[in-house]
């Protein structure tokens, strides 16, 4: 029993040593010794290509061919494609507003039902005027009364100014006569007092005239306030759109700030998304964009807005796309997949089955160089289509292994069969 256990331990140790320390030799031995079986396991195109190549080669090259793994290779040339920024967002109404009351009163008009189309200026809610018309008439009457006092106050001012001119003339005459000894000082003093009295009368007349003008301005302000209050009784649509809610019910009492109705504008409609900061430089205002709605409908538009300030939490930038919606078939809040056109780039269109992973887990493709040596190239996925995937990061021309790439690794020799 001890001998058997000892022999088992030796065999296990030797096996682990061969796997860990002699891995390269075992791989080379396995590749050399099993090339025929691996070729049989390849797909039909690889087997047919291998048979044709084997029939065409010389007998002296059989030894070199047996040492290389047979793979199917496709020549690929880079093409310029329109790159796009892929985002997910939603539709939003171009404008949305809730019309509210600016004064209080009872609703006196028949309400409009939600979903109805209203044009700009249409009446949404109309309030009972109450005594506002009487207040306006009273303000207008006060204005007319204030304007009627203008001629009277103007006449008083003109009379006071005329008396002031007369008093100044009398004072000057008395003063000159007094200098020649022909008038007493008492006369001069009386003339001077008359001038001062006339000046006071002019000042009083001017004050009365200014008060009259102030009364006119106050009356005009009262009239304007009354007219504005009457205007507030009618709440109109600020723009053309659809009613999202019913207007206020007949007989309802509205207070300042109370909601009358909500209106949304859907033509044009906006498709809103948020661009990550890594893609922000690729988006330009005015760039064409497509959006595929959750219903399957595809629409086109242009980028109408790109935020210059990132969201503090998500570090993304708001982008808006304006899309025509004349038939109003696009609703507010629909999910959309957005593609915004960006600058073109070189890329290869390859089959998804050509993609593989290297030992480090990087996604890429394996190719064959001019010396039939296998190379690994990491790639970046750009776009997925029904014909394959567009990838970047490859040389402009490359021979991509499309069959057998999982059985070879970088640095080993392969026997390529080219696929047209």
Inside any domain, residue 91: no
- Expressed as residue numbers, the domain containing 308 is 263-341
- What's the burial of 89, exposed, middle or buried (CB within 10 Å: 0-12/13-18/19+)? buried
The answer to whether 302 and 271 have CB atoms below 8 angstroms apart is: no
Residues 70 and 189 grouped into a single domain: no
Comparing 28-32, 336-340, 342-346, 386-390, the range with the smallest average pLDDT is 28-32
Residues 185 and 244 grouped into a single domain: no
Return the pLDDT at 337: 94
Looking at residue 1, the DSSP 8-state letter turns out to be -
Return the pLDDT at 226: 93
Give the range with max mean pLDDT: 16-20, 94-98, 151-155: 94-98
Peptide bond into 181 cis (omega under 30): no
Residues 199 and 241 grouped into a single domain: no
Structure confidence by residue, pLDDT tens digits, 5-14: 767 777 777 7
Q: How confident is the model at residue 292 (pLDDT cuts 50, 70, 90)?
A: very high
Inside any domain, residue 68: yes
pLDDT at 60 over 50: no
Inside any domain, residue 24: no
Calculate the alpha carbon distances from 211 to 141, 153, 220, 286, 302 in Å. Answer: 17, 9, 14, 60, 62
* Helices 23-33 + 2-21 axis angle, to 10: 80
Give the range with max mean pLDDT: 45-49, 147-151, 263-267: 263-267
Inside any domain, residue 11: no
Q: Quickly count: other Cβ atoms within 10 Å of residue 75's Cβ.
A: 11
Return the pLDDT at 25: 65
Position with higher pLDDT, 202 vs 242:
242
Domain count, the chain: 4
Residues 271 and 332 grouped into a single domain: yes
Residues 238 and 116 grouped into a single domain: yes
Structure confidence by residue, pLDDT tens digits, 314-328: 999 999 999 999 988
Q: Quickly count: other Cβ atoms within 10 Å of residue 350's Cβ.
A: 21
Return the pLDDT at 62: 44
Give percent of the chain with pLDDT exceeding 90.
50
The answer to whether 324 and 365 have CB atoms below 8 angstroms apart is: no
Instruction: List Cβ neighbours of 249 (8 Å cut-off, separation of 6 or more).
Output: 107, 111
Return the pLDDT at 400: 93
Return the pLDDT at 4: 66
pLDDT at 34 over 50: no
Comparing 131-140, 151-160, 267-276, the range with the smallest average pLDDT is 151-160
Inside any domain, residue 9: no
Half-sphere exposure of 387 (CA within 13 A, CB side): 4
The CA distance from 88 to 111, in Å, is: 39
Q: How confident is the model at residue 57 (pLDDT cuts 50, 70, 90)?
A: very low
83 closest CA partner among 346, 385, 412: 346
Return the pLDDT at 20: 63
Q: How confident is the model at residue 53 (pLDDT cuts 50, 70, 90)?
A: very low
pLDDT at 99 over 80: yes
DSSP string, 210-276: HHHHHHHHHHHHHHHHHHHHHHTTEEE-SSSEEESSPPPPTT-EE-TT-EEEEEEEEEEEEEEEEEE
Residues 117 and 239 grouped into a single domain: yes
Inside any domain, residue 386: yes
Residues 204 and 155 grouped into a single domain: yes
Residues 318 and 354 grouped into a single domain: no
Inside any domain, residue 8: no
The CA distance from 142 to 144, in Å, is: 5
The CATH number of whichever domain residue 299 belongs to comes to 2.40.30.170
Return the pLDDT at 23: 61
Comparing 56-60, 344-348, 388-392, the range with the smallest average pLDDT is 56-60
Q: How confident is the model at residue 209 (pLDDT cuts 50, 70, 90)?
A: confident
Comparing 27-36, 314-323, 332-341, the range with the smallest average pLDDT is 27-36
**Main-chain dihedrals φ then ψ at residue 3, nearest 5 degrees:** -65, -45
78 closest CA partner among 342, 414, 392: 392
Looking at residue 167, the DSSP 8-state letter turns out to be H
Residues 267 and 255 grouped into a single domain: no
CA–chain centroid gap for 202, Å, is: 68
Longest dimension (CA), the chain: 167
What is the rounded average pLDDT of the residues 79-104?
90
pTM equals: 0.55
Residues 202 and 78 grouped into a single domain: no
The CA distance from 400 to 76, in Å, is: 7
The answer to whether 389 and 365 have CB atoms below 8 angstroms apart is: no
The CATH number of whichever domain residue 140 belongs to comes to 1.10.287.620
Inside any domain, residue 374: yes
What is the rounded average pLDDT of the residues 298-325?
94
Residues 240 and 122 grouped into a single domain: yes
Return the pLDDT at 41: 39
Q: How confident is the model at residue 178 (pLDDT cuts 50, 70, 90)?
A: confident
What is the rounded average pLDDT of the residues 156-182?
81
The CA distance from 383 to 86, in Å, is: 9
Q: How confident is the model at residue 108 (pLDDT cuts 50, 70, 90)?
A: very high
pLDDT at 182 over 60: yes
Comparing 98-102, 291-295, 339-343, the range with the smallest average pLDDT is 339-343
Residues 208 and 226 grouped into a single domain: yes
Return the pLDDT at 65: 46
């Amino acid at each position: 029993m001890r001998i058997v256990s000892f022999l088992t331990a030796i065999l296990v140790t030797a096996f682990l040593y061969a796997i860990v320390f002699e891995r390269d030799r075992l791989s080379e031995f396995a590749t050399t010794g099993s090339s025929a079986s691996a070729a049989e396991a390849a797909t039909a195109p690889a087997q047919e290509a291998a048979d044709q190549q084997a029939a065409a080669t010389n007998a002296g090259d059989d030894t070199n061919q047996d040492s290389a793994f047979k793979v199917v290779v496709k020549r690929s040339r880079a093409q310029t494609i329109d790159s796009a920024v892929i985002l997910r967002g939603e539709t939003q109404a171009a404008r949305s507003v809730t019309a509210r009351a600016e004064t209080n009163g009872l609703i006196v008009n028949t309400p409009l039902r939600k979903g109805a189309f209203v044009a700009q200026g249409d009446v949404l809610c109309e309030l009972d005027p109450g005594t506002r018309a009487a207040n306006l008439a009273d303000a207008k009457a006060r204005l007319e009364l204030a304007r009627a006092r203008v001629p009277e106050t103007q006449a008083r001012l003109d009379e006071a100014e005329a008396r002031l001119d007369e008093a100044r003339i009398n004072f000057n005459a008395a003063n000159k006569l007094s200098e020649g000894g022909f008038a007493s000082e008492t006369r001069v003093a009386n003339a001077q007092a008359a001038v001062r009295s006339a000046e006071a009368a002019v000042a009083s007349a001017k004050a009365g005239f200014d008060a009259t003008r102030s009364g006119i301005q106050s009356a005009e302000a009262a009239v304007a306030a009354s007219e504005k209050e009457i205007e507030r009784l009618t709440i109109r649509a600020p723009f053309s759109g659809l009613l999202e809610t019913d207007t206020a019910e007949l007989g309802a009492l509205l207070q300042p700030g109370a909601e009358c109705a909500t209106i949304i504008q859907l033509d044009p409609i906006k498709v809103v998304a948020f661009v990550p900061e890594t893609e922000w430089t690729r988006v330009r205002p005015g760039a064409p964009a497509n959006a595929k709605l959750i219903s399957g409908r595809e629409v086109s538009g242009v980028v109408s807005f790109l935020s210059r300030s990132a969201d503090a939490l998500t570090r993304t930038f708001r982008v808006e796309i304006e899309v025509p919606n004349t038939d109003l078939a696009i609703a507010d809040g629909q999910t959309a997949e957005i593609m915004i056109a960006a600058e073109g780039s070189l890329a290869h269109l390859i089959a998804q089955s050509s993609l593989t992973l290297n030992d480090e887990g990087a996604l890429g493709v394996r190719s064959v160089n001019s010396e039939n040596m296998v190379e690994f190239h990491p790639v970046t996925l750009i776009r997925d289509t029904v014909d394959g995937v567009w990838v970047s990061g490859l040389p402009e021309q490359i021979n991509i292994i499309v069959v057998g790439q999982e059985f070879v690794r970088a640095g080993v020799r392969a026997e390529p069969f080219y696929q047209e």
